[in-house]
Amino acid sequence: MKKNKVLCIVCARAGSKRLKNKNFKNLFGKPLIYHTIKQAISSKIFDKIVFSTDSEKLRKMAIKFGAEAWFIRPKEHSNDKAAKMPVIRHAILEAERKFKNKFDFICDLDVTSPLRKINDIKIAYRKFKISKQDMLISGNKARKNPYFNMVQKNGKNSLKLVIKPKKFIVRTQDAPPVYELNASIYFWKRDACFKQKGPFCKKTFFYEMPYSRSIDIDSISDFKMVQFFGKK
């Protein structure tokens, strides 16, 4: 039986507006990118682990930590308005060109969500393969609920629920469950990755993680939360 070829892509760029130089920050004595690269290696799932960046300094760091990093991302994929999927597709094509192989499955692990466990990657991959879906995305139960305690301004002096329930809900546990995406683990079938037009594929499997492993670093308070939960 043919073994599936699995590519892991780890992306990090030099610039960050909300938390300056976050991808260079030290977390538990190591640069932020170290943790995701080492998790990918330790999972033993991937045939290749490729690092995509616009920074020569980050590229050299990634090589030191065990990723393969031979290219610098084009400028159009490097600014703060660059969408995620073109960056992923560019890295896939670079990898297939270099290794002269077409991969079956693609994984993206975000460096800004470093609290995932190695087992999260393994279980997510196993469930993804069994599900026969085109994509897997990870997340956690949301702490707020649009049916109960999330509102929009409705004019100057009025509010309305984000989603109006058919019947008034008085307890949060009675509201339909909703989830936050945690930017931790993504898997795709290779061809589905190139066909995807929105944030999800039509056939998408959801992998649930606890909040304590789901914090995505986008601010200094997020970074401190990661430090807190990571020490437990």
**Predicted TM-score of the model (pTM):** 0.91
pLDDT reported for residue 164? 87
Q: Where are the domains of the chain?
A: 6-141+180-230, 143-177
- In CATH, 6-141+180-230 is 3.40.50.300: no
Q: CB–CB of 62/10 below 8 Å?
A: yes
Q: CB–CB of 15/23 below 8 Å?
A: no
152 beta partners: 160
pLDDT reported for residue 78? 65
Q: What is the mean pLDDT of each run of 10 residues along the chain (232 residues)?
A: 89 81 92 97 98 96 98 80 86 97 97 97 97 96 87 86 85 87 96 88 95 94 94 72
User: Which DSSP string corresponds to 32-88?
Assistant: HHHHHHHHHHHHT--SEEEEE-S-HHHHHHHHHHT-B------GGGTSTT--HHHHH
Longest dimension (CA), the chain: 65
138 beta partners: 207
- Interatomic CA distance for residues 40 and 49, integer angstroms: 7
